[in-house]
Amino acid sequence: MSRILVITPSYDPRLGGVENHVWSTSQLLWQKGYKITILTQRFPGLPESETKANIPIYRFDFPRIRFFGLLIIWWWVFTRFGRLIDEADIIHIHDVFIWYLPLRLLFWRKRVITTFHGWEGIYPVPRKNIWIRQLANVLSHRTVAIGAYLEKYYHFKADKVIYGGVEVPRGRMKKDNLLLYMGRLDYDTGLPVLLQALETKSWSGKVVFCGDGLLREQAEALGEVKGFVDPIPYLKKAKVVFAGGYLSILEAFAYQCAVVAAQKNPLKKDYYLLSPFAPWLTVVDTPEDLTRFLKLVQDKSAKVQYTVEKALAWAKTQNWQAVAKQYESLYQAFT
């Protein structure tokens, strides 16, 4: 089986959409016989190298220096981890193609796959960011976009468009009167719309925020902020989830929650509405729109319940095995 070097901005035990994606697919591919190695940045308290769940992990300290920091990354990746690149059959990069850019020329025979996960939270998208993605698309042998909106706003064509995966629990959920927010506590996630709606007492039950960020203080005034923790215990009880990204949407569908999101700009609107699950997701523009939706949830609207059931049925088709199979088909094209 092929030896795959996975380069990712972050990895377990860090929590997040990219981390979950890379962890889940790496485990499944390892079980299929692929030799997976992870190269990622090092966060405080984590060792430079370890083996976890049979997968070797190598980490390097991320220099917070404008421009020169990127030169340092290139030097470290080449001098410290050049052996990993040399031994790999395929380099699979998640979002951070820029870390590998000069190595793409040095190791020009290496097959490269790049998965693009998200946007930088800046709208309109800066031309520099568009150019970097387009360059990565040209220099990669295959590319995967997490969401069709990436092709539209970064002006490239991916080989595959996928939306991540989720494990659907069995049985019905016993729900409390709980509203759950999942994601960064920041402006670009649509959180201000939720905060303004909650200020008008639009939700009669408990509010929990699984996340952290700039708007933490405002969120604490309206509910409990748990930080970046495992949201599963709260998903089991939540009636409604205010989602900021694909992972939180998929998980909310799997745990039989009504799901709502807020658009802040045309890109964020397309982020949601160009997806295959758009029919079962409510996207609001204003706090007033959100208030009306929350009233439907609290009134046990038959329409809301219908979307919950349809979303659950769709989520059952979106498991991590299916995502890993998509990657395996790309790997096999090189063998």
Chain-centroid distance of CA 20 in Å reads 8
Residue range 197-220: average pLDDT?
A: 95
Which range, of 12-16, 103-107, 157-161, 311-315, averages the lowest pLDDT? 12-16
Check residue 68 and give its pLDDT. Answer: 83
Check residue 171 and give its pLDDT. Answer: 78
What element of type H or E holds 291?
helix 287-298
Check residue 98 and give its pLDDT. Answer: 95
Query: What is the percentage of the chain residues whose pLDDT exceeds 90?
Result: 86
Res 170 pLDDT > 80: yes
Residue range 175-183: average pLDDT?
A: 95
Q: Fold identical between 3-165+319-332 and 178-315? A: yes
194 confidence band (pLDDT: 50, 70, 90): very high
3-165+319-332 architecture in CATH? 3-Layer(aba) Sandwich (3.40)
Structure letter (DSSP) for residue 18 = H
Distance CA 322, CA 164 (A): 9
Res 1 pLDDT > 80: no
Q: What is the pLDDT of residues 82-95, one digit of tens each?
A: 999 999 999 999 99
Res 16 pLDDT > 90: no
Check residue 15 and give its pLDDT. Answer: 82
| Residue corresponding to tokens 């097959």 | 111
DSSP notation for 134-192: HHHHHHSSEEEEESTHHHHHHT---SEEE----PPPSS-----SEEEEES-SSGGGTHH
Distance CA 107, CA 184 (A): 37
Domain locations in the chain as residue ranges? 3-165+319-332, 178-315
CATH number listed for the domain at residues 178-315 = 3.40.50.2000
Residue 275 φ/ψ, nearest 5 degrees: -85, 155
Distance CA 332, CA 44 (A): 37
Long-range contacts of 262-266 (CB under 8 A, 24+ apart): 262/189, 262/190, 262/191, 262/193, 262/194, 262/290, 263/190, 264/123, 264/187, 264/188, 264/190, 265/123, 266/123
Which range, of 54-58, 67-71, 309-313, averages the lowest pLDDT? 67-71
What three-state secondary structure class fits 24? helix
Cis omega (within 30 of 0) for bond into 9: no
Residue range 9-23: average pLDDT?
A: 92
67 confidence band (pLDDT: 50, 70, 90): confident
Structure letter (DSSP) for residue 126 = P
At residue 180's C-alpha, the angle toward residues 246 and 304, to 5°, is 75
281 confidence band (pLDDT: 50, 70, 90): very high
